[in-house]
Structure 1
Amino acid sequence: MMCKFIPCLLRSNGLFYVGVAALTFIYWASGFTKLWDFTTAQAEMAQFGLKPPALIAALVILVQLAGSALLIFGRRWAWLGAGMLAVFTLATIPVAHQFWKLQGLASFLDMMLVLEHFTVIGGLILAAILSELKFGTIRPTPTPGRA
């Protein structure tokens, strides 16, 4: 029996890799940008009062690139990459998005970024689950009445 286009596409490894690469784009693009311009990465860390800026910038780059690589290519270790990126994303909120200290439009815009962070964290959780279902040891629980 020939596979229908959409179900086959949704089960394909290619679409999985495109999806996790797109989900992690903000991390690996930021990591490579910081790596290529380490001086600016240090200045960014210093702007948020993080010390020592060089060490913090190096750790941020490591988390962004290693977490992305594990989620995209790690198969059975994808959960670790997703966890690294989720914790990092959550940790950036009190450091870089203190909307509660701002007023008016600035507060609103920073709060919207925080809400986006929670959306990305949800996507990372789902990507880890999907990776485990696709490559790991767990299998989907059968739904009654479905084959």
Structure 2
Amino acid sequence: MTLPLINNLLASRSFGILARVLLTFVFWSSGLAKVIDFGGAVAEMERYGVMPAVPMAIAVILVQLGGSALVISGRWVWLGAGALGVFTMMTIPIAHAFWTMTGEAAFIEMMFTFEHVSLIGGLVVIAVLRREARVAGAPALASF
């Protein structure tokens, strides 16, 4: 049994938007930081051996900001969530290859990997919820 206050909150369009903003925070904040410090974004690509660094930095910014915008807007959520999920999965072997490390560094990178996998799960959930809301016209899911 859901309390009426909680039920109303969960059904609220504003709460759905807030949830999507929070879910994508790590992406849009990183994309904005890369726009503000494009030199730093290029240096990050170089540090991880992602070449050519300038076009890849641009591609990362487009995926992070574009994918976030799609998820937050509620339009083509499957595409935005999918792009962000694939991007996140691809960062694991590039930036968090804990299986090649030992000690504390390996543990820290493993925790980042676990967080990435959970984030991918959240992106899948939002895509499923949005699809259900669109296909079934389910009012309870309309905010997502």
| TM > 0.5 | yes
* Mapped partners of 1:4, 1:138: distance in 2: 23
1:125 aligns with 2:136: no
- For the residues of structure 1 that align with 2:35 and 2:18, how far apart are their CA atoms? 23
Question: Do structure 1's residue 104 and structure 2's residue 103 form an aligned pair?
Answer: yes
TM-score by length of 2: 0.90
Q: Distance in 1 between matches of 2:112 and 2:96?
A: 7
Matched residue, 1:145: none
Distance 2:122 2:78 in 1: 12
Counterpart of 1:143 in structure 2 is: none
Structure 1: unaligned runs, 5 residues or longer: 141-147
* Structure holding more helix per residue: 2
Structure of greater Rg: 1
Q: Could you tell me how far apart the structure 1 residues matched to 2:13 and 2:39 are?
A: 38
Question: Structure 1-normalised TM-score?
Answer: 0.89
Give the ranges of 4+ consecutive aligned residues of structure 1 lying more than 3 Å apart after TM superposition.
Answer: none
Structure-2 residue corresponding to 1:44 = 44
Q: Which amino acid aligns with 2:50?
A: L
The separation in 2 between residues aligned to 1:74 and 1:44, in whole angstroms, is 30
AA in 2 matched with 1:21: V
CA RMSD for the aligned pairs?
A: 1.3
Higher relative contact order (CA 8 A, sep 6+): 2
Q: 2:90 & 2:136 partners in 1: Cα distance?
A: 30
Which ranges of structure 2 fall in alignment gaps of 5 or more residues?
139-144
Task: Tell me the matched-pair count.
Answer: 136
**Matched residue, 1:138:** 136
